[in-house]
Amino acid sequence: MIKGHPELIIPQHVGIIMDGNGRWAKKRAMPRSVGHRFGAQNFRKITRYISKTGVKVLTLYAFSTENWKRSFAEVNALMGLFKEYLIDLLTNFKEDDIKVVFIGDRSAFDKNLIELIEENEEQAKDRTGMLLNIAMNYGSRDEILMAVKKLCREVRDNGLDPESITVDDISARLYTAGEPDPDLIIRTGGEMRLSNFLLYQSAYSEIYSTDTLWPDFHEKDFDEAIIAFNQRNRRFGGV
């Protein structure tokens, strides 16, 4: 529930493209790594707030498959920051009953980071509150390719009839299998593109873009996104 707006429909699944950390730092004549640190701090605050609004699933775009193209220094700083915050997550969301899951190709990360990811998932597996998907080394095209390869192996090895394959079969082989598709995708930082985020799942998602940079995206900004979502007429291809 949004404070002061009990009548609002709360989306089941919200995805957020957390954009603008680097620009936030540049505006303040700071290194980009400082922007990422402030953005990471905001991630914890906003996640806790969203979990109390009634959202069932929250997917946050933390690191894309394309982000490896950034400078070595920036990527190295991000990896160090991820480790800090994964250690923090082991205790931080326990009281909120938030279930933490990581989506993406974790094999590219070092051993310590992979162990922290697995430890977080193991510790949170029995929680019953909001599901938090953290997308790390995630790219939607790679995810779709992975799903197609799984189906191809089943055709080859298990006799699956290609003509019987449905869109639900593809959905069941994505990282988000069993979860509702996102109702709302929020992008901070003013850009108007999905940037390889949940492409298959967001076929009928409402898109909300705000010029607010991620470190400055606070509770009121999320509330404004929900208000805007309620003003949309979702027809899902119908009249």
Residues recognised as catalytic:
19, 67
pLDDT given at position 93:
83
pLDDT of 203: 95
Average pLDDT across each block of 10 residues of the chain; the chain has 239 residues. List them in order: 86 97 96 94 95 97 95 93 91 87 96 96 95 97 97 94 95 97 98 97 97 97 97 78
Residue the block writes with tokens 């994505």: 174
* pLDDT value for 126: 94
Looking at residue 239, what is its pLDDT? 57
Under CATH, which number does the domain 13-230 receive? 3.40.1180.10
pLDDT for residue 238: 67
Task: Considering only CA atoms, give the Rg of the chain.
Answer: 18
Q: 202: how many CB neighbours lie within 10 A of its CB?
A: 19
pTM: 0.94
pLDDT of residue 13: 98
Q: Which two tokens stand for residue 175?
A: 């990282």
The confidence score (pLDDT) of residue 2 equals 86
CA–CA separation, 132 vs 5, rounded Å?
24
Please name the residue that has the structure tokens 């790219």: 139
User: What torsion do the CA atoms of 94, 96, 101, 102 make, to the nearest 10 degrees?
Assistant: -90
Contact criterion met (CB below 8 Å) for 11 and 59? no
CB atoms within 10 A of CB 63: 21
- Domains of the chain, residue spans: 13-230
> CB count, 10 Å around CB of 201?
22
Report the candidate in 118, 102, 13 with the shortest Cα–Cα distance to residue 63: 102
Residues 6+ apart with CB under 8 A from 8: 1, 2, 226, 227, 230
The pLDDT score that the predictor gives to residue 108 is 94
pLDDT of residue 91: 82
pLDDT of amino acid 3: 79
Please state whether beta strands 206-209 and 131-138 pair in parallel, antiparallel, or not at all (unpaired): unpaired
Q: Which pLDDT belongs to residue 21? A: 95
Spatial distance between the Cα atoms of 230 and 32, rounded to a whole number of angstroms: 35
100 strand-pairing partners? 132
* Angle between helical axes of 111-124 and 72-92 (0-180°, round to 10): 30
Identify the pLDDT of residue 169. Answer: 96
